Each structure stands twice: as C-alpha cells, then as structure tokens.
Structure 1
Amino acid sequence: MLIYKIFRGDEEAAFARAGETRGAPVDLADGYIHISTAEQVQGTLDKHFAGEDGLWLLALDSDALGPELRWEPSRGGALFPHLYRVLRADDVAWRRPLARRTDGAVILDPPA
C-alpha cells in the first residue's frame, strides 16, 4: 500500500541532496517521521500546511519500510503510519510537487 510524506520545498531539496532524512522539524521533535495514508493526506495538509505553496508529495511503499513503520493512534484516534528510522531515497516510490485538482483535493496518482 502506498503511504505519503509531505515536505516543504527546502526539506525535500535537502533530502534529495543527502539521500536520506530524519524528517521535518516536527518529525525531529517527535522522534519519528509522520506519514499519512491516502485517506489522511488531505486532513494533514489542511491541519499542518494550510495556505502553503511549494510542497512536495512523496509516495512510499508501506510494506517495504520494515518493522520500523508503526501504526499508532493520532488525530481523532485514527491509526497513522510513523517511521522510526531514517527515510532513505530508495524508500521513495515516486516524488513530485504536490498537485491539486480544481476542487482543492490532492492528486495521489503517480506522476506521468
């Protein structure tokens, strides 16, 4: 199953340069990398990235992340994927600037 990490432009650029990341400042503070399912991405954007441009969407294969991926209760008691290790470039199935449909919903399809 694909799950998604949202980065600001500078965070994604640093990840692309280094080939790995411990995540955004919120991830560093919490001790794990926050990730969302397809159903959770829109809520994550609305709550944590409202009004921001220049965002990147990275798709990750949940099965390939290993035992360090844990599903834990978060917003509203829903289970969210949290990664308790460095995110590596080879963990990324695809990445692209975050795109929205005209109704504002996030496009989760792989880039063409």
Structure 2
Amino acid sequence: MKRVKFVAATLLTAALAVPTATAVAADSYGGGAHAWSPAAGDSGRISVKDGSSDGDPAKAEYYRTASADTKRTLWNKSGPGTTATSGDGSRIYKFKACDVNYGDPDDCGGWVIP
C-alpha cells in the first residue's frame, strides 16, 4: 500500500510540474493562403503558406497582446508551396490568411482566435 501511495504521489507531482499548453492551434484559409498559430509550438509565432500558383504573394494579418491596436502583416513572397514564419513575440490573439490579388480585393479568411 505504501508503494501505491508513493507512485501516485510521484505521478501527481510530475503532472503538476509539467507545464500545460495554453494556446490552441488555429487555422485560417483565404484563397490559396493558409495561416496558422501557434507556429512551431510557440504562441508568439505565426506562419503563412502560399498554396496558389497565381504569381501573387500570400499574407497573414495578425494582432499581438503586447500591441493590441497594431495590425501586423507577415508576407510570403517566396512563391507557391513555400512557408514564411514570423519572429517570436507576445502571444498572437487573432489572425487571418489572405491570398493577395493585385488590382482586385484580396481573398481573406475570417479572423481566427487561437
């Protein structure tokens, strides 16, 4: 019985010591663009992939908690099939993916909250 209590106490201690993830992965799609956050397991990063071969770039528009009123843009101008990832910063709290259409309105998904 002592051993069972010891094992249970050890497992409980380990469970409490391991940090839990607070960010939930979210995706946004707009035209051929796909954006997601957290990227690379970090709630302060976002990625955007250009999934179309129309010659126009893809972008992710997003907001961070440290500068809640500042809309930021992550551009991916590297071509179809490529992914761009932002630098690290405060948590990203909403974002959307856009496929840029020069001369026409961009194809954007709705705002997503990770």
| TM-score w.r.t. length of structure 1 | 0.26
Q: Choose between structure 1 and 2: higher strand proportion.
A: 2
| TM-score w.r.t. length of structure 2 | 0.26
Bigger Cα Rg:
2
Greater relative contact order (CA < 8 Å, ≥ 6 in sequence): 1
Q: Choose between structure 1 and 2: higher helix proportion.
A: 1
